[in-house]
A = this chain, B = another copy of it.
Amino acid sequence: MALSLSSSAASPEITGSTTLCAILADPVHHLRAPQAFNALMGQWNKDAVLVPMHVAPDQLGAVISGLRQTKNLAGFLVTIPHKSAVIDYCDVASARASAVGAVNVVRREADGRLVGEILDGIGFVEGLRQNGIEPNGMSVFLAGAGGAANAIAFGLAEAGIKSLGIWNRTRSKSGDLRERLRGLYPQLPVRIATNDPGDADLVVNATSLGLRDGDPPPLDLERLQARQIVAEIIMDPVMTPLLLAAEVRECRISLGAPMLDCQLALMADFLGIGR
């Protein structure tokens, strides 16, 4: 997984034989996946291209119905805000995606069936490890209970964290996530938290707050402590207000990009465009 995914200045040439992949998002301007995925295709010498598709939540069904019927489409990636919604459009979802309740990659079979999987929990943990951070045994504070937060919670649980606190403005979603975790990880202590990260070893933002100028902070920045590690899933801006506040408080930080880089190769494999 230790791939160098620095973006090249150009994508491989697109022809009528090129395999199509898409990424569904709203907004799209901040995406890094097209550059990084297409650079990977170039490295692997694959004739495939990933393009952004800007889709509003209420139009997801129409767009997915069209992609299902596009015969040269290998599949599509899914990101904010569609990860939870897209699972309902899949004909099959992996056990992991079903447990998380979200997908971030969907493969189109030759007959048009859609198979959903989620790889960002695995990618997040792998990104921490490449950064020298081993989550095993840590207490974790998680901001968010949406698709990405669910995937990360399951990835961290699988990695053997000691305990988990979940903060989300809609408390019922935190409770839903706790219930799902109990099904697969009954020994893991999970509590519904406030926006105070307390003394958790690892503080994770898994919300989209910080993506747009003027977003409120995803948690109470005043409570961050120097001994804490603060990890972000947002990639653009690279330094979110959360990460800037964490630096001021001398926390160790972990950027959003490694999670993506670590899972693009897994996604390409899943889409059948593997090495």
Contacts and interface: CB of A to CB of B under 8 A. Distances in A.
Interface of A: 7-18, 20, 25-32, 34-35, 38, 49-56, 59, 62-73
Contact of A11 (B7, B10, B50, B52): B10
Contact of A56 (B10, B52, B65, B71): B71
B69 A55 contact: yes
Nearest to A39: B13
A11 B12 contact: yes
A72 B54 contact: yes
B29 A52 contact: no
Contact of A18 (B52, B55, B64, B71): B52
A13 B11 contact: yes
A27 B16 CA distance: 9
A50 B14 contact: yes
A263 to B, nearest CB: 17
Contacts of A71: 26, 54-56
Among A16, A25, A34, the one with the most B-chain Cβ atoms within 10 Å of its Cβ is A16
Nearest to A12: B10
A44 B79 CA distance: 31
A57 to B, nearest CB: 11
Contacts of A50: 14
Contacts of A59: 69
Nearest to A112: B59
Given A54-B72, A63-B69, A35 B49 contact: no
